[in-house]
C-alpha cells in the first residue's frame, strides 16, 4: 500500500524540530527506560541524557542501571553509579527537568546468589538515593546464565523489600516470541533460542509466580511483556495485579503485533490508561561521536511508540521492516497518562534525594 508519511524521514524545510514532525508537541513526555550501557566517561553520559531530553522535549527521564554482571560482561565497574552520577549532575543543573536513577543488582553466575546479599544490595542502593530497580534477569540468555528463577527463594527477600518500601522494579522478562527458533539457533544466530534456553512460557510463569507471592510489587514489565499479539493476556494480568504496569519500549515487533488488532488494544488503553508507560530504550551505545545528531541516534525508538500511539492513519517506518502499522490514535488525556502521569505515579513527583 502507499504510505504517505514516515515520521523518521528528513523534515520538510521550515520544520525546526523534526522529533515532533506530525506529533502533538505540546504533550509532556517522560521516558521511563533509558540506559548508559556504552563505555563512556561522565561528561559523555551527561551530554547524552541532556541532549536526549532537550531534543525530544522530555520532562523527565529514568535511567536504568545495568551492572556488568547482568548485561554484556563488559568492563563497566559500576553502571549503577554512572546512572546516579548523571542524576546528580543534571538535577543540580536543571531541577525543573528531573532525572531518576534505578539500580540493578550485582548477580553471580550459576545460581549462587545469597538472598541476604541481594537484600543488602537493595537496602544499600535505596540508601544511596536510587529511585527504584531494574533487572534484565528474565532475558532468556541471562536467565539461563544465572540459573536464578524470578520467583525463586534468592530474590524473594529483595521483592518483599520492594513491596514494603514501594520502590518500583522494571523487569525485562521474555523476548519476542519468534526468537524461540531452534533452526535459526542451529546456524549460530544471536537472537535465536533453542531448547537449552528457558521457554517463553516458563519465564512468563516465573513472573506470575513472583506477582502471586508479592501482589503489591510495583512491577513494570518492559517491552509490553512481549504481548503485542495477546491483548487478552495483557488484560488478564492488568486486572489480576493492580500494581502491575507495562512499558511501551520498542521492541518494535510488539507494534506489529498490536497492529493486528488495534481496536482491542485501543479499548485496553482507554480502560487501563494508568498502566502503560512511555519508554524508548535510548542508550549511549546508540550515540555517535557527534552528539548533536539526535534524530539519527534516537529518532526511531522515540518516534516509533509516539507514532503508534498518536497517529490515525496506517504508516510504515522505512528503517525497520515492521510492515504497515495500524496506530491507536489515543485521545490526549490517555496520552498524558502514558507520557507523564503514570511515570510520576511510578517514580515519584520528585527524584528521591541524594545523601
Ligand atoms: Zn532496556
CB 253 within 8 A of CB 228: yes
Ligand 1 centroid vs 320 CA: distance in angstroms? 18
- Whether 11 maps to a domain, the answer reads no
How many residues in total does the chain contain? Answer: 355
Ligand 1 centroid vs 342 CA: distance in angstroms? 18
CA atoms within 13 A on the CB side of 247: 32
Q: Nearest CA to 237 among 276, 281, 180?
A: 276
Domain assignment of residue 294, given as a range? 29-347
Mutual angle of helices 156-165 and 200-213, in 10-degree steps: 50
Q: Nearest CA to 84 among 282, 291, 354, 281?
A: 354
Determine the Cα–Cα distance for residues 108 and 262; give it in Å rounded to an integer. 42
The residues with which 61 forms a beta bridge, in sequence order, are 31, 99
- Whether 9 maps to a domain, the answer reads no
Q: Cell 542508550 identifies what position?
A: 283
- Whether 3 maps to a domain, the answer reads no
Total tally of structural domains belonging to the chain: 1
CATH number for the domain harbouring residue 315: 3.20.20.140
Ligand 1 centroid vs 279 CA: distance in angstroms? 9
Q: Where are the beta strands (DSSP E) in 184-281?
A: 219-221, 245-247, 276-277
- Whether 14 maps to a domain, the answer reads no
Ligand 1 centroid vs 4 CA: distance in angstroms? 31
Neighbouring CB atoms inside 10 A of 81's CB total: 16
- Whether 105 maps to a domain, the answer reads yes
Ligand 1 centroid vs 38 CA: distance in angstroms? 13
Q: What is the pLDDT of residue 169?
A: 98
DSSP state of 38: S
Q: What is the pLDDT of residue 57?
A: 86
Neighbouring CB atoms inside 10 A of 302's CB total: 27
Ligand 1 centroid vs 245 CA: distance in angstroms? 15
What does the pLDDT profile of the chain (355 residues) look like in tens digits?
A: 333 334 444 444 444 444 444 566 678 999 999 999 888 888 889 999 998 898 888 999 999 998 866 555 556 768 999 999 999 999 999 999 999 999 999 887 655 778 999 999 999 999 999 999 999 989 998 888 888 899 999 999 999 999 999 999 999 999 999 999 988 888 888 788 999 999 999 999 999 999 999 999 999 999 999 999 999 999 999 999 999 999 999 988 899 999 999 999 999 999 999 999 999 998 876 666 666 666 666 777 888 899 899 988 787 775 567 888 899 999 999 999 999 999 999 999 999 999 9
Determine the Cα–Cα distance for residues 36 and 101; give it in Å rounded to an integer. 11
Q: C-alpha grid cell for residue 212?
A: 502471586
- Whether 20 maps to a domain, the answer reads no
DSSP state of 149: -
Ligand 1 centroid vs 281 CA: distance in angstroms? 5
What residues contact 310, with CB distance under 8 A and at least 6 apart? 23, 24, 327, 328, 329, 330, 335
Q: Nearest CA to 24 among 10, 12, 7?
A: 7
Ligand 1 centroid vs 1 CA: distance in angstroms? 33
- Whether 229 maps to a domain, the answer reads yes
- Whether 354 maps to a domain, the answer reads no
Q: What is the pLDDT of residue 17?
A: 40
**Cis amide prior to 251 (ω within 30 degrees):** yes
Q: Cell 515492521 identifies what position?
A: 322
Q: What is the pLDDT of residue 62?
A: 98
Amino acid at each position: 500500500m502507499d504510505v504517505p508519511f514516515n515520521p523518521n524521514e528528513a523534515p520538510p524545510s521550515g520544520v525546526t524540530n523534526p522529533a515532533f514532525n506530525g506529533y502533538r508537541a505540546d504533550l509532556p513526555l517522560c521516558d521511563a527506560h533509558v540506559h548508559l550501557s556504552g563505555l563512556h566517561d561522565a561528561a559523555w553520559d551527561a551530554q547524552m541524557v541532556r541532549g536526549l531530553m532537550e531534543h525530544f522535549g522530555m520532562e523527565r527521564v529514568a535511567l536504568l542501571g545495568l551492572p556488568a554482571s547482568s548485561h554484556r560482561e563488559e568492563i563497566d565497574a559500576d553502571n549503577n553509579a554512572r546512572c546516579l552520577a548523571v542524576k546528580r549532575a543534571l538535577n543540580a543543573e536543571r531541577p525543573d527537568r528531573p532525572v531518576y536513577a534505578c539500580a540493578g543488582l550485582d548477580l553471580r553466575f550459576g545460581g549462587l546468589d545469597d538472598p541476604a546479599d541481594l537484600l543488602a544490595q537493595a537496602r544499600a542502593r535505596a540508601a544511596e538515593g536510587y529511585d527504584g530497580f531494574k533487572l534484565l534477569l528474565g532475558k532468556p540468555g541471562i536467565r539461563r546464565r544465572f540459573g536464578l528463577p524470578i520467583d525463586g527463594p534468592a530474590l524473594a527477600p529483595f521483592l518483599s523489600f520492594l513491596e514494603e518500601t514501594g520502590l518500583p522494579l522494571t523487569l525485562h522478562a521474555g523476548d519476542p516470541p519468534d526468537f524461540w527458533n531452534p533452526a535459526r539457533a542451529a546456524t549460530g544466530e544471536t537472537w535465536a533460542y533453542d531448547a537449552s534456553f528457558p521457554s517463553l512460557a516458563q519465564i512468563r510463569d516465573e513472573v506470575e509466580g513472583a506477582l502471586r507471592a508479592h501482589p503489591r510489587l510495583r512491577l513494570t514489565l518492559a517491552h509490553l511483556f512481549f504481548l503485542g499479539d495477546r491483548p487478552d493476556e495483557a488484560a488478564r494480568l492488568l486486572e489480576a495485579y493492580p500494581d502491575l504496569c507495562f512499558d511501551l519500549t520498542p521492541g518494535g515487533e510488539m507494534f506489529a503485533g498490536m497492529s493486528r488488532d488495534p481496536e482491542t488494544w485501543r479499548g485496553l488503553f482507554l480502560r487501563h490508561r494508568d498502566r502503560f508507560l512511555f519508554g524508548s530504550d535510548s542508550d549511549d551505545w546508540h550515540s555517535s561521536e557527534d552528539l548533536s545528531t539526535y534524530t539519527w541516534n534516537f529518532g526511531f525508538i522515540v518516534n516509533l511508540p509516539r507514532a503508534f500511539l498518536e497517529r490515525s492513519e496506517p504508516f510504515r517506518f522505512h528503517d525497520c521492516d515492521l510492515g504497515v502499522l495500524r496506530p491507536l490514535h489515543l485521545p490526549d488525556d490517555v496520552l498524558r497518562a502514558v507520557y507523564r502521569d503514570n511515570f510520576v505515579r511510578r517514580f515519584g513527583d520528585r527524584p528521591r534525594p541524594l545523601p
